């Protein structure tokens, strides 16, 4: 009997060891590196292009992208994580997707996400291109969340998504991140700069989240953050030199909080709601050097918006409400404005501080 017990124990241990070995092999990351050997020592497969690795990856895989410049278009149809590697031994840490050599016409997308549950981490996307004309309607998108997809961008750097018009201006068709009827999109801890259309143009059926990200265009007529979803959170971002800093629409519930919004143009708006943002709370933001600090413009708005504890300075109108009623404007500080709150009738206006404001409310 003892002999059978020892045998059973032996085989149990052996099977467990094999299972652990197989499990360790199954979770090993895929690596992308044009060089051999690649920059990481342990991996399950080695590819020289991102697209080859993505096409071969199983659902839930992690793909480590070694530092380097990757001139390719990437389409992701499988839930996975694409992660840039910081190679301390090589003193480098930038894995950057760039546009392949040559020009393009029509719509061009660098990374097209078509799956749910995709994460991009520590990846750069550079839209530098050679176009110098708006003829034939060229447009450029850095990362596209396609219909029904979802995912997260974290520690992602997006830059130079603009098209020159050949006369010292821009075509206004370069967008670093776009979501077209995605399910949900999160952008966090990222950098978005030098674009000429909308920095983050995010339309989702469920949620849009933008946190701790810096956004600034090359074209002063561009919008920084556009959030269109049932639930929206735009918080702790730094937004500068946009025509509209944060544009929120079609929300059932949402927060725009803790952001720093610098307009830089007299006609700009710091935070804007149109046409519907019922249930929106705008709080703790610093808005300055804009034509309007916060604005709602629609006669169909049913109220319920709260604008509180914000610092608004250097504006024509601190808050501009167009035919709006049932909203709360409270405990804000307005400095150096022509009008503190325009369109105050029918709304609750209380506890605000006005400093060097020509007309407090009207």
pLDDT tens digits for 252-309?
A: 789 999 999 999 766 799 999 988 778 899 999 999 999 999 998 765 556 789 999 9
Q: Which residues pair with 242 in a beta bridge?
A: none
In a domain, 7, yes or no: no
Number of domains in the chain: 1
Look up the pTM and report it. 0.91
60 close to 80: Cβ distance less than 8 angstroms: yes
Cβ 283 vs Cβ 259: under 8 Å: no
* DSSP assignments along 283-349, one per residue: ES-EEES-SEEEEEE-TT-----EEES-EEEEEEEEEEEES--S-EEES-EEEEEEEEEES-TTSEE
Residue 7 has pLDDT above 80, yes or no: no
Asked if residue 231 belongs to a domain, the reply is yes
Which residue's entry shows tokens 């979802």? 150
Give the integer Cα–Cα distance in Å for 323 and 205: 28
Q: For 201-251, what is each residue's pLDDT tens digit?
A: 999 999 999 999 999 999 988 999 999 999 999 999 999 999 999 999 877
The token duo for 216 is 């600034």
Task: Tell me if 240 is assigned to some domain.
Answer: yes
Residue linked to tokens 């959030």 = 227
What is the pLDDT confidence band of residue 25, given thresholds at 50, 70 and 90?
very low
Q: Render pLDDT for 61-119 as a digit per residue (tens, 0 to 9).
A: 999 999 999 999 999 999 999 999 998 888 999 999 999 998 788 999 999 999 999 99
The answer to whether residue 138 is domain-embedded is yes
Q: Count CA within 13 A, CB hemisphere, residue 220.
A: 9
Q: Is 27 within a domain? A: no
Sign of CA dihedral 299, 300, 303, 308: negative
> Residue 320 falls within a domain, yes or no?
yes
107 C-beta neighbours (distance < 10 Å), count = 12
**Domain of 170?**
60-361
The answer to whether the CB of 54 falls within 8 A of the CB of 76 is yes
- For tokens 């309007």, what's the residue? 292
What lies within 8 Å, CB to CB, of 276 at 6+ separation is: 249, 250, 251, 298, 300, 301
- Chain-centroid distance of CA 8 in Å reads 55
Q: In whole angstroms, what is the distance from residue 149 CA to residue 154 CA?
A: 17
What is the phi/psi pair of residue 108, to 5°? -130, 125
Question: Within a domain: residue 305?
Answer: yes
Domain-embedded: residue 35: no
- For residue 129, the domain's CATH number is 2.160.20.10
pLDDT confidence of residue 9:
57
* SS3 of residue 104 by DSSP: coil
């Amino acid at each position: 009997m003892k002999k059978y017990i020892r045998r059973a124990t032996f085989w149990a241990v052996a099977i467990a060891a094999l299972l652990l070995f197989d499990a360790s092999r199954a979770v090993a990351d895929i690596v992308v590196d044009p060089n051999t050997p690649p920059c990481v020592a342990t991996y399950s497969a080695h590819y020289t292009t991102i697209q080859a690795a993505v096409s071969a990856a199983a659902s839930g895989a992690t793909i480590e992208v070694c530092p380097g410049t990757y001139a390719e278009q990437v389409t992701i149809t499988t839930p996975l994580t694409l992660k840039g590697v910081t190679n301390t031994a090589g003193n480098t840490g930038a894995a950057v997707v760039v546009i392949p050599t040559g020009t393009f016409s029509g719509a061009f997308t660098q990374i097209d996400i078509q799956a749910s549950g995709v994460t991009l981490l520590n990846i750069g996307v550079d839209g530098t291109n050679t176009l110098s004309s708006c003829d034939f309607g060229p447009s450029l998108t850095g990362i596209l969340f396609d219909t029904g997809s979802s995912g997260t961008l974290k520690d992602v750097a997006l830059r130079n998504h603009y098209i020159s018009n050949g006369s010292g201006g821009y075509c206004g068709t370069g967008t670093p991140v776009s979501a077209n009827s995605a399910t949900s999109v999160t952008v966090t801890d990222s950098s978005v700069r030098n674009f000429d259309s909308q920095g983050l143009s995010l339309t989702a059926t469920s949620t849009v989240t933008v946190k701790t990200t810096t956004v600034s265009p090359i074209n002063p007529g561009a919008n920084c953050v556009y959030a269109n979803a049932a639930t929206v959170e735009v918080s702790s971002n730094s937004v500068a030199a946009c025509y509209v800093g944060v544009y929120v629409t079609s929300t059932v519930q949402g927060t725009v909080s803790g952001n720093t919004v610098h307009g830089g143009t007299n006609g700009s708006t710091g935070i804007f709601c149109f046409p519907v943002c019922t249930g929106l709370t705008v709080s703790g933001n610093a808005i300055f050097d804009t034509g309007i600090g916060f604005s709602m413009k629609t006669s169909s708005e049913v109220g319920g918006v709260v604008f509180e504890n914000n610092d608004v300075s250097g504006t024509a109108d601190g808050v501009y409400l167009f035919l709006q009623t049932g909203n709360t404007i409270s405990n804000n500080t307005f400095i150096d404005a022509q009008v503190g709150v325009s369109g105050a009738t029918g709304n609750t206006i209380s506890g605000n501080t006005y400093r060097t404001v020509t007309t407090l409310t009207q």
